[in-house]
Amino acid sequence: MITTISKWGNSQGVRIPSEVLKSIGYSTGDEVEVKATESGILVQRRTRQPNGLKAAGMLKGYVKRHISDEEMESAWQQAAVEKWNEKNR
């Protein structure tokens, strides 16, 4: 599908047809993350981190092995995907 980059205030935007959003389970109002990649622009659902993330971050100092921010982020993303999959079966 071809679309056009348009001016939208001080930014630019791309309209995504509703049938495309529907086919991937996105809807108006969903938060997405936009990243520049070598091959173009990646738009993906933003996974909200539970409020417990702050508490988990505070607990880092109490675990025997240091958990990197990347490991923590990966674990939260995996948990969010699993929860989403459970709700949408």
Return the CATH number at 28: 2.10.260.10
Residues 24 and 58 reside in one and the same domain: no
The total of structural domains in the chain comes to 2
- Rounded Cα distance between 31 and 89, Å, is 22
Average pLDDT over residues 54-77: 68
Question: Is residue 69 scored above 70 in pLDDT?
Answer: yes
Domain of residue 3, residue span: 1-46
For the chain, the residue count is 89
Residues 58 and 86 reside in one and the same domain: yes
Residues 32 and 64 reside in one and the same domain: no
Q: What is the pLDDT of residue 30?
A: 87
Higher pLDDT, 69 or 56: 69
Higher pLDDT, 35 or 66: 35
Structure pTM? 0.47
Average pLDDT over residues 29-56: 79
Residues 41 and 6 reside in one and the same domain: yes
Residues 32 and 60 reside in one and the same domain: no
What is the DSSP track for 24-65? TT--TT--EEEEEETTEEEEEEPPPPPTHHHHHHHHGGGSSS
Residues 35 and 59 reside in one and the same domain: no
